[in-house]
Amino acid sequence: MKIAVANDHRGTSAIEQVKAIIAELNHECLDFSSDNDQPVDYPDMAYLAAKAVSDKQADRAILVCGTGIGMSITANKVKGVRAALCYDELNAKISRNHNDANVLCLSGDLLGTTILRKIVETWLTTEFSGGRHQRRVNKIMAIEDGRDPREV
């Protein structure tokens, strides 16, 4: 898979760990990351990686800011993106298995290296289960197109 990555200044350290995990799992990295701790606006960085997913230049993306909240809000504004803010392995697994999340948002400030690794590995290796969950994802996409999900 090709994984886009991006971060703001508070996610610089964590994104380096994320990039290493991506490489260890033999995925390709499309790098939009900020490589220093100089302040950068998270919407600028999130947009680049989320747009890469939307435009099918990347299969998925992983975004890191201080809490992950700003990246999640921003990424979910991009058509075709289903971004999930995950703080543990269960969130990561369900976001992929049930919601077919194609963007993972993480906190650079609140996650230690061990849990960050577990979340990223789980998220990258969990497949979407489809079935009844596909119907729900279709409803999310209908909302994105301005349609009433109850009519899907």
Query: How far is 53 from 36, CA to CA, in rounded Å?
Result: 24
**pLDDT value, residue 111:** 95
Candidate CATH numbers 3.40.50.1000, 3.90.650.10, 3.40.1400.10, 2.60.40.10; the one for domain 2-151: 3.40.1400.10
Mean pLDDT of 64-69: 97
Q: Which residues contact 95 (CB under 8 A, 6 or more apart)?
A: 84, 86, 101, 104, 123
Catalytic residue among 9, 27, 86, 98: 98
Beta-bridge partner residues of 85: 105
What are the structure tokens assigned to 95, written together?
Answer: 């976001």
Query: Catalytic one among 9, 27, 29, 65?
Result: 65
Catalytic residue check, 29: no
Neighbours of 7 (CB within 10 A): 30
Name the burial class of residue 89, with classes exposed (0-12), middle (13-18) and buried (19+) by CB atoms within 10 angstroms of its CB.
middle
For residues 59-80, average pLDDT? 97
pLDDT surpassing 90 at residue 14: yes
Across the chain, mean pLDDT equals 96
Percent of the chain that is helix, strand, coil (3-state, to 5): 50, 15, 35
The whole-angstrom distance between residue 48's C-alpha and the CA centroid of its chain comes to 12
| pTM, full prediction | 0.96
Q: Are 83 and 103 in contact (CB under 8 A)?
A: yes
- pLDDT score recorded for residue 69: 98
Instruction: Please give the pLDDT value at position 30.
Output: 97
Q: What is the pLDDT of residues 89-133, one digit of tens each?
A: 999 999 999 999 999 999 999 999 999 999 999 999 999 999 999
Q: Is 98 a catalytic residue?
A: yes
Task: Give the position of tokens 């350290």.
Answer: 13
Q: Beginning with the edge strand found earlier in the chain, give each strand of the sheet holding 83-85 in spatial order.
A: 28-31, 2-7, 60-65, 103-107, 83-85
